[in-house]
Structure 1
Amino acid sequence: MNQFLGKAAVAAITLAFASQAAATEWNVSVWGKRRAFTEHVEKLAELVSEKTDGEFTMNVSYGGLSKNKENLDGISIGAFEMAQFCAGYHRDKNPTITVLELPFLGVNTLDEEVAVSHAVYGHPAVQADLARWNAKLLMTSPMPQYNIVGTGEPRDSLAKMDGMRVRATGGIGKAFSAVGAVPTSVTATEAYNAMESGVVDTVAFAQHAHLAFRTIDQAEWWTANLNPGTVNCPVVVNVDAYDALSDKEREALDSSVDEAIAHYLTNYGELLTKWEGILAEKNVTKVTLSDAELDAFRAKAADPIREAWIADMTAQGIPAQELYDLVMDTLKKQRM
Structure 2
Amino acid sequence: MFSGKLSVAVMAAAMICAATFAEARELKLASFVPPQHPMDRGAITPMVEAFNAATNGTSTIKIYPSGELGSGPVQQYKRVVTGVADIVFGIPEYTPEQFPRTTLMNLPGLFDTPDVGTTALWTHYGLFEPDFAQVKMLAFWTNSPAILITREKPVRGIADLAGMKIRVPDPAAAEMAEAWGAIPVSTPTTEAYNAMSTGVVDAVWIGPSGIGSYKLHEVGKYLVTNLPSPLATFYLAMNKDSWAALSPAEQAALEKASGRELSMAAASAFAKAGEEGLSLARKAGLEFITLDDKSTADLREKSKPVLDALAADASSKGGFDAQAILSAVSGR
TM-score with structure 2 setting the length = 0.88
Partner residue of 2:288?
286
Change in 2 beyond 3 A, CA 1:25/1:95: same
Q: Which amino acid letter does the alignment assign opposite residue 199 of structure 2?
A: G
Partner residue of 2:91?
86
Alpha-carbon deviation of 1:44? 1.0
For the residue of structure 2 that corresponds to 1:111, the secondary structure is: helix
**Match among 312, 318, 321 for residue 319 of structure 1:** 321
For the residue of structure 1 that corresponds to 2:75, the secondary structure is: helix
**Match among 258, 266, 277 for residue 264 of structure 1:** 266
* Structure 2 runs not aligned, ≥5 long: none
Change in 2 beyond 3 A, CA 1:5/1:282: farther
Contact 2:156 2:291 in 1 (8 A): yes
Aligned mates of 2:256, 2:306 — CA distance in 1: 37
Partner residue of 2:240?
239
Aligned mates of 2:139, 2:213 — CA distance in 1: 22
* Structure 1 runs not aligned, ≥5 long: none
Where does 1:129-140 land on structure 2 (aligned, <5 Å)? Answer: 129-131=131-133, 134-140=134-140
Aligned mates of 1:70, 1:210 — CA distance in 2: 25
Aligned mates of 2:228, 2:63 — CA distance in 1: 31
Partner residue of 1:163?
163
Contact 1:102 1:305 in 2 (8 A): no
Contact 1:97 1:120 in 2 (8 A): no
**Match among 114, 117, 120 for residue 118 of structure 2:** 114
Alpha-carbon deviation of 1:45? 0.9
Aligned mates of 1:269, 1:91 — CA distance in 2: 24
Alpha-carbon deviation of 1:102? 0.8
Aligned mates of 1:49, 1:112 — CA distance in 2: 30
Alpha-carbon deviation of 1:12? 4.2
Partner residue of 1:309?
310
For the residue of structure 1 that corresponds to 2:80, the secondary structure is: helix
**Match among 26, 33, 43 for residue 40 of structure 1:** 43
Q: Deviations over 1:128-167 (max 9, x none)?
A: 3332xx2233322321111011211112221221222222
Aligned mates of 1:117, 1:227 — CA distance in 2: 20
1:53 paired with 2:56, answer yes
For the residue of structure 2 that corresponds to 1:95, the secondary structure is: coil
Alpha-carbon deviation of 1:86? 1.7
1:69 paired with 2:71, answer no
Where does 1:185-204 land on structure 2 (aligned, <5 Å)? Answer: 185-204=186-205
Alpha-carbon deviation of 1:192? 2.1
Aligned mates of 2:278, 2:205 — CA distance in 1: 18
Alpha-carbon deviation of 1:179? 0.7
Bigger shift: residues 312-321 or 69-78: 312-321
Aligned mates of 1:234, 1:163 — CA distance in 2: 35
Q: Which amino acid letter does the alignment assign opposite residue 257 of structure 2?
A: S
Change in 2 beyond 3 A, CA 1:262/1:56: farther
Change in 2 beyond 3 A, CA 1:273/1:204: closer
Q: RMSD value over aligned CA atoms?
A: 2.3
Contact 1:221 1:284 in 2 (8 A): yes
Aligned mates of 2:185, 2:22 — CA distance in 1: 47
Contact 2:118 2:140 in 1 (8 A): yes
Alpha-carbon deviation of 1:305? 2.7
Contact 2:208 2:274 in 1 (8 A): yes
Q: Which amino acid letter does the alignment assign opposite residue 95 of structure 1?
A: P
Bigger shift: residues 263-272 or 135-144: 263-272
Aligned mates of 1:159, 1:108 — CA distance in 2: 24
TM-score with structure 1 setting the length = 0.87
State how many pairs are aligned.
324
Change in 2 beyond 3 A, CA 1:296/1:11: same
Alpha-carbon deviation of 1:211? 0.9
Q: Which amino acid letter does the alignment assign opposite residue 214 of structure 1?
A: K
Aligned mates of 2:11, 2:228 — CA distance in 1: 65
Alpha-carbon deviation of 1:113? 1.0
Percent sequence identity over aligned pairs: 23
Q: Which amino acid letter does the alignment assign opposite residue 173 of structure 1?
A: A
Aligned mates of 1:213, 1:46 — CA distance in 2: 27
**Match among 104, 114, 119 for residue 99 of structure 1:** 104
